[in-house]
Structure 1
Amino acid sequence: MRYPTAISELLGFEIRSVGPGSASVAVDTDPARHGNQQGTVHGGFLVELADAAIGTAHSTLMHEGETFTSIDLRATFLRPVWADTLVANASRTHHGRTVTHYTCDVLRADGKVAATVTSIVMTLRGEAALGR
């Protein structure tokens, strides 16, 4: 597993925990840096945090010569976020030979879910994995 990734380092993401097919990634948010027009943290930032947790979770399942790519990502936003510490908890819900499904809840410090993200990740092997 390559960590920190360039984007995770740039955004200040930190791995809290990792297990087979699961990961928790945290970040401190600041609307002055991560905000949208309404003054809350931008939804795309929440999605990037969830995607980092999902990618970290999936990387724990990779074998020599394998890599992966996301083929679907969907977000549902439930609550706003301002200055806070967010934790994205990703876990696999289905693990097939090539396609794995994930769900990830992005939690605020008060324990309430700010967003739920689901993703489908495809494992690449052989020539498809070269150079990735």
Structure 2
Amino acid sequence: MGTAHSTLMNKGESFTSIELKINFFRPTWRDKLTAHARPILSGKTITVYHCKITNTEGKLVAAVTSTVMALRGDKAKGR
């Protein structure tokens, strides 16, 4: 979800995760996983994402919810 959010950042901006919740539904060992993340709430500073992770059969392996906070100006320096 960090990769998804990074596509929304402007030059000189950064972000940090402030919450991450993962539910695992089935085991996987040697499988190709696909993750699809989308924002479910996007404000000026806080964005909440939901991500579904599926295996090659299209079965849900895990679901992730993440909250990220945009950092701008002095808060983004050095990040």
C-alpha distance in 2, partners of 1:115/1:100?
20
Question: Which position in structure 2 is the counterpart of 1:129?
Answer: 76
Given the two structures, how large is their TM-score scaled by the length of structure 2? 0.96
Structure 1 ranges of 4+ moved more than 4 A: none
Aligned residues: 79
C-alpha distance in 1, partners of 2:38/2:53?
12
Are 2:3 and 1:56 aligned? yes
Of 38, 55, 64, the match for 1:108: 55
Question: Which position in structure 2 is the counterpart of 1:83?
Answer: 30
Which structure shows the bigger proportion of residues in helix conformation? Answer: 1
After superposition, the CA RMSD in angstroms is 0.6
Superposition deviation, residue 90 in structure 1: 0.8
Question: Which position in structure 1 is the counterpart of 2:43?
Answer: 96
Given the two structures, how large is their TM-score scaled by the length of structure 1? 0.59
Give ranges in structure 1 of 5+ residues lacking alignment.
1-53
